[in-house]
Amino acid sequence: MATLFGSGIRRREDPRLITGAATYTDDVKLHGMLYAAVLRSTYAHARLKKVDARAAKKAPGVVAVYTGADIQDKVNPVPCAWNVPDCDLKTPPHPLLAVDRVRYAGDGIAMVVADSRAAARDGMDLIDVDYEPSDVVVDPEKATQKGAPQLHDEVPSNIAFTWKVAGGDTGKAFKEAEAKVSLRIRQNRLLPTAIEPRAAVASYNKATGALTLWATSQNPHIHRFLCSVMLNIPEHHIRVISPEVGGGFGSKIPVYADEALVSYASIDLGKPVKWTEDRSENYKATIHGRDHVEFVELCGKKDGTVTGLRTKVYAALGAYASTAGPGVPTILHGLMYSGAYTIPNIDGTVYGVYTNTTPVDAYRGAGRPEATYLLERLMDRYAAEIGMDPVEVRRKNLIPADAFPYTVATGITYDSGNYQAALDKALGMLDYKAFRKEQAAARKKGRYLGVGVTTYTEICGLGPSQVAGAVGFGGGLYDSAIVRVYPTGVVRVYIGGKPHGQGEETTFAQIVADEFGLPVENVEVVAGDTESTPQGWGTYGSRTTAVCGSAVKVAAQRVKEKAKKVAAHLLEANEDDLEWKDEKFVVRGSPDQAKTFGDVAVMANVAWNLPEGVEPGLEATAFFDPSNFVYPFGTHICTVEVDTETGVVDILRYIAVDDCGPQINPMIVEGQVHGGVIQGVGEAMQEVAVYDEDGQLLTGTMMDYAVPKASQMPELEVAHTTTPTDVNPLGVKGVGETGTIASVPTVVNAVCDALAPLGVTHIDKPLTPARVWQAIQEAKGGAS
């Protein structure tokens, strides 16, 4: 049998998905089920003078209405679970339902429970809320300025934390620099937009005290843990089932009030309760991403050597600190300031800022896209400043391939890399020199072509649990697997991760089938139910294959060690004389003396004849904690043509060369790259969540928020290099977020390169035609 590792086999999860047989949370239907709707604040900042639910309670079909005042003594606030140390972090409580004050348009005020979805909505409209509006601030920089409206009494200047990262002597580097560049960067706020909105179904059994919660979760064990905290229910009485999940991109990591509210209602009413948000509600009540105002500077020598980076970042947290909110613009952002380069002096300051907006948390890439973007924009600006080719500036500063493991100025150590190989491969795919000639010729004819090149690395495969603890993450970052072999030799693998599109039901089956010499169909991977799966920490941070996949590998190896003992006993041979050959345990030198894995599985499970001291059964559990994060890397290149009359950008070619180590399933890896890049192209070209100054979300529906459409997006050219890591037994790195991390600066650099002859030096993304046109006009005005 050919080895499955490295084979692009079809996905095992697809048959149910392409036939409509999959069960997503909103598909769950229970006897006697009630439906909930959450009334949300229409004001971004207000005192609640009155919340009168009397009429709603009498409405047809309405069973109960809960307000903040009703439940405040019975439940605990939504916890922030990433308490980043050494930055004076303040996380004021976020009540499940507002009691006296609302702080963003979308803050929950009351929940209506009724016998139908429609009745719950109708009842919600009858709740009478009297608001006393307060002043509003939505911009994270302005929120820190004198006289800005204050969101929380205990948080002066709305500054939730001041986090610093430093290495080397940046002051000296800038003083001695031969050249320096600076930029003010606006990282656009984004709406994650998993196509499946969030939903939750709670069912409480009064007799046993057991709560079952179906939820759209990327990490059911974290949901169990934090729901236990919110609801005062012991963790072992909560079962969280995260069934099919229709995309997450980070937005289904956090634990939200809604999940605790349906649980509370189910406990109170003794009936199952379902809540499903609609898209407009999702855009207000589900976390957002990015939203930084950044002041960044880079300095160095005229030969292209970069010597220093300095940042001052205002990162919006929204109105409250979400589950992982404080960790995203700090640990996952500032520690990556060195990027793929040997920048000896780095000095970063990040202010986490409360604003009257929806909470901000992890969105695909989570902090690393912002770091990569500011660095790669600065590299292009620096190249222009010293009159050097941007590729050559990068090449001069890339960490050498023989320098790994390499510790950067921010203090973290990169595992492995060969950045030059990926760069050369990508440049070759484009024929960079030929494109530069084409560009020069086109410019003479009044056509504006541009090229953007990004050499990146990123931190993922989160991560060692010891580091998680040190950086204030409220949990572990190991992961787990149980490999259980049935008497007939088929296998189930229960994992702590919760894939929701990434394909680990297939890739993990490939790992196990390889180990046991079984057809992949004989291995089934189970995820998402805390009742059957071992403690794990979920799917995010491109960690599931690197960490949970390694647990699968280790558990399978443990099973195989036991199987070998049994095989040796059955063959009446010494264990040391057995070898694994042609998918069998074979007595060395006697090929007819052999036992298949299936032969052993039967005997181990019936236990009629086992070696002395060997227990019946054939299964193993493994908890895998990696020794370091993993650092995938690569080079992305984009070429564009800009119509200077209209500001329309046409992406001509997009080349992605990524290195995530050995690939278990290249087809799935390529799919991850495609999706990641296009999400980044969306961020670069068209996506932005816009608030007006009153804190109303103007992009509050899919009519207004520009989710990328098929007709707008380019065809991608994808290739790879392969550099293994030694921090896990598979040698693999993550690839779920690389595309988003690399593509945003690649596209923006290409457009800025195209418009450089006109004097355009920077355009804040998204590069809508209006913004590009405006930048051209301003550059023209400046020149005249």
Question: Residue 355 interacts with another protein (CB under 8 A)?
Answer: no
Piece of the chain touching another protein by CB under 8 A; list 97-105, 162-170, 192-200, 526-534? 192-200
Instruction: Annotate each residue in 99-118 with x if it binds another protein (CB under 8 A) or - if it does not, as one string.
Output: ------------------xx
| Binding residue for another protein, selected from 677, 754, 763, 776, defined by CB under 8 A | 677
Contact criterion met (CB below 8 Å) for 226 and 79: yes
- In the chain, the amino acid numbered 219 is N
Piece of the chain touching another protein by CB under 8 A; list 53-61, 106-114, 523-531, 703-711? 703-711
Question: Residue 195 interacts with another protein (CB under 8 A)?
Answer: yes
| Binding residue for another protein, selected from 667, 690, 756, 758, defined by CB under 8 A | 667
| Binding residue for another protein, selected from 675, 734, 745, 766, defined by CB under 8 A | 675
Token pair belonging to 342: 């040997």
Piece of the chain touching another protein by CB under 8 A; list 190-198, 287-295, 336-344, 550-558? 190-198
Question: Residue 11 interacts with another protein (CB under 8 A)?
Answer: yes
In whole angstroms, give the CA distance from residue 490 to residue 486. Answer: 5
Piece of the chain touching another protein by CB under 8 A; list 86-94, 513-521, 675-683, 762-770? 675-683
In whole angstroms, give the CA distance from residue 220 to residue 545. Answer: 17
Residue 707 or 770 with smaller CB distance to another protein: 707
Please, what is the minimum distance in Å from the beta carbon of residue 192 to another protein?
Answer: 8
Mode of pairing for the β-strands spanning 62-67 and 273-276: unpaired
- Binding to another protein, residues 237-276 (CB under 8 A): 244-247, 249
Q: Is 522 left (phi over 0), alpha (psi -120 to 50) or beta?
A: alpha
- Binding to another protein, residues 708-727 (CB under 8 A): 708-713, 715-716
Please, what is the minimum distance in Å from the beta carbon of residue 543 to another protein?
Answer: 17
Question: Residue 501 interacts with another protein (CB under 8 A)?
Answer: yes
Piece of the chain touching another protein by CB under 8 A; list 47-55, 81-89, 465-473, 695-703? 695-703
Please, what is the minimum distance in Å from the beta carbon of residue 87 to another protein?
Answer: 33
Instruction: Annotate each residue in 454-493 with x if it binds another protein (CB under 8 A) or - if it does not, as one string.
Output: ----------------------------------------
Please, what is the minimum distance in Å from the beta carbon of residue 680 to another protein?
Answer: 10
Piece of the chain touching another protein by CB under 8 A; list 42-50, 160-168, 589-597, 667-675? 667-675
Residue 26 or 347 with smaller CB distance to another protein: 26
| Binding residue for another protein, selected from 467, 702, 719, 758, defined by CB under 8 A | 702
- Binding to another protein, residues 114-153 (CB under 8 A): 117-118
Please, what is the minimum distance in Å from the beta carbon of residue 276 to another protein?
Answer: 8
Question: Residue 18 interacts with another protein (CB under 8 A)?
Answer: yes
φ, ψ for residue 111 (rounded to 5)? -125, 130
Please, what is the minimum distance in Å from the beta carbon of residue 646 to another protein?
Answer: 20
Please, what is the minimum distance in Å from the beta carbon of residue 199 to another protein?
Answer: 10
Per-residue DSSP letters for 566-615?
A: HHHHHTT--GGGEEEETTEEEETTEEEEEEEHHHHHHHHHH-SS--TTPP
In whole angstroms, give the CA distance from residue 293 to residue 316. Answer: 8
- Binding to another protein, residues 271-300 (CB under 8 A): 278-280
Please, what is the minimum distance in Å from the beta carbon of residue 356 to another protein?
Answer: 24
In whole angstroms, give the CA distance from residue 709 to residue 702. Answer: 12
- In the chain, the amino acid numbered 501 is G
Residue 118 or 614 with smaller CB distance to another protein: 118
In whole angstroms, give the CA distance from residue 320 to residue 354. Answer: 7
Residue 604 or 677 with smaller CB distance to another protein: 677
**Which residues fall within 8 angstroms of residue 276, CB to CB, at 6 or more apart?**
25, 26, 117, 197, 198, 199
Q: What is the residue whose two structure tokens read 């009159």?
A: 387
Please, what is the minimum distance in Å from the beta carbon of residue 717 to another protein?
Answer: 10
In whole angstroms, give the CA distance from residue 226 to residue 72. Answer: 17
Contact criterion met (CB below 8 Å) for 198 and 255: no
Please, what is the minimum distance in Å from the beta carbon of residue 362 to another protein?
Answer: 15
**Which residues fall within 8 angstroms of residue 275, CB to CB, at 6 or more apart?**
35, 36, 37, 38, 111, 199, 200, 201, 258, 261, 262
**Which residues fall within 8 angstroms of residue 627, CB to CB, at 6 or more apart?**
464, 727
What SS3 state is found at 126?
coil
Terminal C-alpha separation, the chain? 71
In whole angstroms, give the CA distance from residue 335 to residue 227. Answer: 31
Q: What are the start-end ranges of the E strands in 409-463?
A: 413-414, 448-457
Question: Residue 502 interacts with another protein (CB under 8 A)?
Answer: yes
In whole angstroms, give the CA distance from residue 671 to residue 419. Answer: 22
| Binding residue for another protein, selected from 413, 574, 627, 701, defined by CB under 8 A | 701
Residue 346 or 688 with smaller CB distance to another protein: 688
In whole angstroms, give the CA distance from residue 594 to residue 5. Answer: 24
Question: Residue 707 interacts with another protein (CB under 8 A)?
Answer: yes
- Binding to another protein, residues 365-404 (CB under 8 A): none
Please, what is the minimum distance in Å from the beta carbon of residue 665 to another protein?
Answer: 9
Q: Among residues 130, 153, 116, 132, which one has the least CA distance to residue 67?
A: 130
Question: Residue 24 interacts with another protein (CB under 8 A)?
Answer: yes
In whole angstroms, give the CA distance from residue 311 to residue 162. Answer: 13
In whole angstroms, give the CA distance from residue 629 to residue 416. Answer: 11
Piece of the chain touching another protein by CB under 8 A; list 188-196, 487-495, 543-551, 624-632? 188-196
- What is the Cα gyration radius of the chain? 28
Please, what is the minimum distance in Å from the beta carbon of residue 511 to another protein?
Answer: 19
Q: Among residues 260, 274, 272, which one has the least CA distance to residue 24?
A: 274
Please, what is the minimum distance in Å from the beta carbon of residue 139 to another protein?
Answer: 27
Question: Residue 737 interacts with another protein (CB under 8 A)?
Answer: no
Q: Among residues 246, 222, 190, 505, which one has the least CA distance to residue 364?
A: 190
Please, what is the minimum distance in Å from the beta carbon of residue 735 to another protein?
Answer: 13
Question: Residue 42 interacts with another protein (CB under 8 A)?
Answer: no
Piece of the chain touching another protein by CB under 8 A; list 299-307, 330-338, 501-509, 548-556? 501-509
Q: Is 442 left (phi over 0), alpha (psi -120 to 50) or beta?
A: alpha
Q: How many residues bind another protein (CB under 8 A)?
A: 59
Please, what is the minimum distance in Å from the beta carbon of residue 191 to another protein?
Answer: 11
User: Cis peptide leading into 766, omega within 30 of 0?
Assistant: yes
Residue 427 or 668 with smaller CB distance to another protein: 668
Residues at the interface with another protein (CB under 8 A) = 10-11, 13-24, 26-27, 29, 117-118, 193-197, 244-247, 249, 278-280, 500-503, 667-668, 670-671, 674-679, 701-703, 707-713, 715-716, 739
